[in-house]
């Protein structure tokens, strides 16, 4: 029987060898295609993460040679009042900015969905602020909130005779930065939510309308649940991006007044360039990585359950 299926043992062996070489050739081709991204990924992404961990056990390394620090940096990270303040500020900013930009973005998306005339032009205009560099946006907003010539302050002054020191008051500074980031991000989320809305099945809405469900009812019991996959992506993406807030803080307040806008990314930058202490900065960076990964994992777990 065996002789009928394969003429001899030798060809069976040859078959196996052929399959092995075919597999090897496949692998070689695939890895040749992957080589460039893997090379850059290893050098500029994987190696930095490993190095971060190694650096967190060192002192100096910028001006003076590096030396072993034991757990010094880690101890300092958890006892330094400014570290806790930065983590608190960053989370405070996320809580201010992310829900606001999501609610406003959804409202704008729903409005865009209804409008018939000039929809294309409207989308372009609304996306315009999103397109600009955070740095340019921050500078442009100086012209809105400046105590002397800021447009917002000119309006407030005309109405009340007073002016608000938006960025100079420790209570207002972080909400002002959140407002600026919401202004910049609104177009992005509005367009993203709009593309989610346009992909929803139309017949479900017709059925709901026939059943007498009003627009508000339809929004809460149809649109929101159906949009879950979009929200799932949106929440995770927004968290990763916003936890790294740096550009507008650097330009507008440089962490002040009285550290009220000091964020984790800002402190990492300062620890390298003002304090020349990469070991401490690396420890702080590691805390940021852990924070982002933990929050992403938590959100994945919470939202995955409900998406299904």
Partner 1 sequence: MLAAFVLAVTVVMSLAPFFYVVSTSFKETKSLFSYPPHWIPDPVYFGNYVALFQKHPFGWWLGNTLAISAIVTGLKLVIDGMAAYALAKLDFTGKHAIVTALLVSVAVPLAALLIPLFLITRSMGLIDTRLALILPPLANPLGVFMIRAFIAGLPDELILSARMDGASELEILRRVVAPLIRPGLVVHATFIFAYQYTSFLWPLVAVRDLQKQVITVGISSLRAIFTVDWGLISAASLIAAAPLTVIFILFQQAFLQQSLAGALKE
Q: Are 248 and 266 in contact (CB under 8 A)?
A: no
Stretch that binds partner 1, among 68-76, 205-213, 216-224, 269-277 (CB under 8 A): 269-277
The minimum distance between CB 8 and partner 1, in angstroms, equals 30
In 3D space, the residue among 217, 198, 218 whose CA is nearest the CA of residue 206 turns out to be: 218
| 187 is a site residue for partner 1 (CB under 8 A) | yes
- Nearer Cβ to partner 1, position 78 or 275? 275
Question: What element of type H or E holds 96?
Answer: helix 81-114
| 268 is a site residue for partner 1 (CB under 8 A) | yes
Residues with Cβ within 8 Å of 22's Cβ and at least 6 positions away in sequence, in order, are none
Stretch that binds partner 1, among 70-78, 79-87, 102-110, 200-208 (CB under 8 A): 102-110
In 3D space, the residue among 253, 278, 250, 259 whose CA is nearest the CA of residue 86 turns out to be: 259
How far apart are the C-alpha atoms of 145 and 307, rounded to whole Å?
41
* Burial of 181 from C-beta contacts in 10 A (0-12 / 13-18 / 19+): buried
Of 112-131, binders to partner 1 (CB under 8 A) are 112, 114-115, 120, 122-129, 131
Phi first, then psi, for residue 57 (nearest 5°) are -105, 20
How far apart are the C-alpha atoms of 202 and 112, rounded to whole Å?
16
| 185 is a site residue for partner 1 (CB under 8 A) | no
- Nearer Cβ to partner 1, position 11 or 104? 104
How far apart are the C-alpha atoms of 101 and 160, rounded to whole Å?
28
| 240 is a site residue for partner 1 (CB under 8 A) | yes
- Nearer Cβ to partner 1, position 148 or 203? 148
The minimum distance between CB 236 and partner 1, in angstroms, equals 8
Identified binder of partner 1 from the candidate list 100, 165, 244, 276, rule CB under 8 A: 244
- Nearer Cβ to partner 1, position 12 or 254? 254
| 273 is a site residue for partner 1 (CB under 8 A) | yes
The minimum distance between CB 2 and partner 1, in angstroms, equals 30
Give the per-residue contact string, 135-164, with partner 1 (x = CB under 8 A; - = no): xx--xxxxxx-x-xx-x--x--x-------
Residues with Cβ within 8 Å of 14's Cβ and at least 6 positions away in sequence, in order, are none
Alpha-helix residue ranges (DSSP H) falling in 115-172: 119-131, 134-145, 151-160
How far apart are the C-alpha atoms of 3 and 152, rounded to whole Å?
91
- Nearer Cβ to partner 1, position 51 or 220? 51
DSSP string, 263-279: -HHHHHHHHHHTS--HH
* Token representation of residue 276: 């020349």
Determine the size of the site formed for partner 1 (CB under 8 A). 96
Percentages helix, strand, coil for the chain (3-state, rounded to 5) are 75, 0, 20
The minimum distance between CB 299 and partner 1, in angstroms, equals 10
- Nearer Cβ to partner 1, position 222 or 292? 292
| 251 is a site residue for partner 1 (CB under 8 A) | yes
In 3D space, the residue among 109, 300, 97 whose CA is nearest the CA of residue 196 turns out to be: 109
The minimum distance between CB 290 and partner 1, in angstroms, equals 9
Of 81-100, binders to partner 1 (CB under 8 A) are none
Stretch that binds partner 1, among 74-82, 93-101, 133-141, 200-208 (CB under 8 A): 133-141
Of 12-71, binders to partner 1 (CB under 8 A) are 23, 26-27, 29-31, 33-34, 36-38, 40-41, 43-49, 51-52, 55, 61
């Amino acid at each position: 029987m065996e002789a009928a299926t394969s003429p001899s043992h030798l060809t069976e062996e040859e078959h196996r060898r052929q399959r092995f070489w075919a597999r090897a050739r496949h692998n070689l081709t695939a890895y040749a295609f992957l080589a460039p991204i893997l090379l850059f990924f290893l050098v500029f992404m994987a190696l930095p993460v490993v190095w971060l961990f190694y650096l967190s056990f060192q002192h100096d390394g910028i001006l003076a040679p590096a030396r072993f620090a034991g757990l010094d940096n880690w101890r300092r990270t958890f006892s330094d009042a400014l570290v806790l303040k930065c983590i608190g500020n960053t989370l405070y900013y996320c809580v201010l900015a992310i829900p606001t930009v999501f609610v406003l973005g959804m409202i704008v998306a729903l409005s865009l969905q209804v409008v018939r005339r000039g929809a294309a032009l409207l989308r372009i205009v609304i996306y315009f602020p999103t397109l600009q560099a955070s740095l340019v946006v921050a500078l442009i907003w100086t012209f809105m909130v400046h105590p002397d010539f800021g447009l917002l302050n000119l309006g407030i002054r005309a109405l009340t005779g007073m002016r608000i020191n938006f960025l100079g008051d420790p209570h207002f500074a972080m909400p002002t930065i959140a407002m600026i980031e919401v202004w910049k991000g609104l177009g992005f989320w509005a367009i993203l939510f709009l593309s989610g809305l346009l992909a929803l099945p139309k017949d479900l809405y017709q059925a709901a309308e026939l059943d007498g469900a009003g627009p508000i009812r339809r929004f809460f019991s149809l649109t929101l649940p159906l949009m879950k996959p979009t929200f799932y992506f949106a929440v995770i993406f927004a968290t990763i991006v916003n936890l790294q807030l740096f550009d507008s803080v650097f330009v507008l307040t440089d962490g002040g007044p009285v550290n009220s806008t000091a964020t984790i990314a800002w402190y990492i930058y300062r620890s390298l360039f003002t304090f020349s202490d990469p070991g401490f900065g690396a420890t702080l960076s590691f805390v940021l990585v852990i924070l982002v990964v933990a929050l992403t994992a938590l959100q994945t777990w919470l939202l995955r359950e409900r998406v299904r």
